[in-house]
Structure 1
Amino acid sequence: MLIEVLLSGAAGFCAKACDEFCERKFSSKKIAILAAIIYPLTLAFLTSTTPLSSLFLALAIASIFAGKIDHYMHLFSLSLYTLLVLVLPLNFFSLPLFALFLASAFLDEIKIPFKCFSFFSKNRLFAPLAAFFIFLFSGQYIFLIALASFDMAYRAFKVLLKYRAGASGPQAASKKTRGSAKSTYAPPPPFLSYKPFSLEDAQAKEPSLQKPPMAQNSPLSPIPLIRKKIKKKKPAPQKITSKKARKKQKKRQGKKSHSKRKKK
């Protein structure tokens, strides 16, 4: 029982490593090749010597018809698994269990348009549900435990890959900053360079903002001006020729002199 659980977990871990390499999320080709060899060997051993033969055969056939074998790495693993299954005997194969797991695996691989079943199809829960029903009606719990071990190891590699990417991120960033410190200084782009605003720049760009020239006689002028008192010149008396005009002029002058005397 322990061997089945450990080998199922190892197969799930290696299968996920191969998947991540095919999707270009995992860059180590040597580890991916090693995983592509290990997981078909473990699955072939479980198919030949344990009651899990119906389960893993159904999962392999469902993945073929669903179009999951789309990379040379998966094709190599599938060909190796097929060759070993054809050579090794199937001691515990059950046709009813194979049909049940094949139908549930197809439902996990395809997209179901009904909303009530979309949650089960998205999380691939139809095969675990089939294993749970087998446990309820026959008492065989090995299928449920093997699927749980396979799925947990499959997800564990994904979590490990995210943790590795998060840990290597700050180190890569620090290396970039160290390399950039050695390089020559590059000035910032013009839209990022800050220049304080000055009134002179604004006046140079827009002539309407320039101050008008200050008048010399203005009290705000910085140059002190000497204001000269200009005496108003009295107009020259006009020569009077007519007699009537002379009489009027004498009367006016007499009135003015009389008013001045009164004031005194």
Structure 2
Amino acid sequence: MAAKPPTEEDERRTAERDDAKVWGERAPQGRLWVLELDSGRARMVDGLGDRHVVEVAQRPDGGPLAILSWATPEPDPGCLACEVHAVDLDTGKVQALGEAASQASSPTWWRADGAWHLCYLATTLPGPVGGRAVFDLAVPEIGSPGEHRNLTSGMTVCPSGLAQVAAGPPLALFADGLDTAIYRLDPETRRFQPVCSVEGLLAWLTASTAGEVVAAAASTAYQPLDIHAGRPDRLVRLSDTRPETREIEWGSRNASPTRRPTGWISTGC
């Protein structure tokens, strides 16, 4: 995913330092490019027309790419006109999967009942301000895509991230008060079930093939943001970006005498 190469007009404006910006004019359009390994050449996938490509996710079996696109790269109107597509890189065929809910992000593939599904995060109606939800649709090999269904309707916690699991249903992060919970989608009920709770903030979750090992950026009221990995209920810090903060005596965020700073992310299922 990258912008189109600069035109002669773009190069002229850069050389002359003509950098005035006008809303709606000359905004860089995100495009989908394919690098041909044999020739080293890059070709642009043109089946998406003038849509601005914002996110891409490869299907785990090497099948089509899931694409989220905006009508324009300008963020305000773009976030209200998001569409979902599946692109076959071998043929260049683009399958329209319908309009996504507002501010869609994190396209995530998973498989159930012999068919591929696609999840994504988005803001619930009427938008653009509202709670986040996980939406899901079936992506058939032939025929029309399924309805975009809200999988988190009625839940008392708000999803904040999705992680694709190659050999199973996706994992998701949910904001739970000041902490974060890891959930996994139950393919039978199509509802998210809790896996464990993690103290503090967890973000940018990724998962192993079966989802048994995860990695994420995590922080607490006493620890700066660092990379952690391991079983969801046994995350271990791998990076140490701010060792000097261990010399600071932090105030407690609650009155519980049993809650104290720790060198690891405190978790429990």
Q: Which has the higher strand share?
A: 2
TM-score, scaled to structure 1: 0.22
Structure number with greater CO (CA < 8 Å, separation at least 6) is: 1
TM-score, scaled to structure 2: 0.21
Q: Which has the higher helix share?
A: 1
